Structure 1
């Protein structure tokens, strides 16, 4: 049941989705592979032990929105080299999800992806899930001019690039902090959380925020949630 004062979906004409840990279950821990490669990249670039690299990685992630942005700002790393390395992972844990695809297809209006990852990584994820054809476009970290969510200018660039009216859009995300600006802009916000049935590899702060004022809805079952919003065929 929707809480009093929370925004609904009757007016929504554009549906915006994050990619990692949103369009596939948290418990696949696919991002853990990326996480390990980020640590290795930082360790190699800065010539520090893995333990120190991990500390730096998480510090930059929290302060800059992505470790990449921190490495670019403080150490002159080139985005192309970084993205190619950290996204060279095994995508095979992802399986086709026709039920989600059907629910997305039945949503009225446009569907877009807004991710801090790369278009190449997004393409592989969407191909494995079998849902890529439901989306009009992917707005990635390159389109964002290397400024990741939750930077306000990133959302502005996205809205301008794709002509999205935030007052008639909904945003689905797995990090509550990435919903702050969308909510301020007028979007209906949905936080996608782990379903609790299996272990997930996340930091405590990444799992916070489900009670935040800028979070309109929380779900641990995105397919089921979307199915309730979709008109019957």
Structure 2
């Protein structure tokens, strides 16, 4: 049976959602973040040397990295569902979004999280003005423009079709959910980008998404009405 090594309030929520969409039985091994550092606990290193989530085990295999997990589960359990047929233009687009989600969309969001903490976090008083000024400048000159660039791009892409690959929901939409949820929480995504906002509303209303939330526990990136 698939075991999801699930870190609370993390990207592994997507894996639970995918398994619910596929109707695959699974177990959850839960891990809690350190309340001070918000990092994963050291016990996860017993599963994978990097000690990060998501990671799954299945039939003696250990699979890490969100995109690799999605590809493995869809190939092994999908029976032709949630992915376009191999060799098609749609399959190429599907593969692109699987990798774009982590490779291009998430880095500016992670940078914003880091520099927000530098700007607002505790530090010795004599370095505070300099550190905060640098953080503000980096956000203004690089991070915010990058976030806007990606959000504009994604808004335009959803003008081409209902979902990211086409007019059929695929696992690429599951993979794309987390960067968009993170952008809605702290990256400037709001109702002004109506296609992206509608995308979030649609995925949050899916029964499989709701079942995954019930099993996964607290998930701050989930369905909340925002301005």
TM over 0.5: no
TM normalised by structure 1 equals 0.37
Which is helix-richer, 1 or 2?
2
Larger gyration radius, structure 1 or structure 2: 2
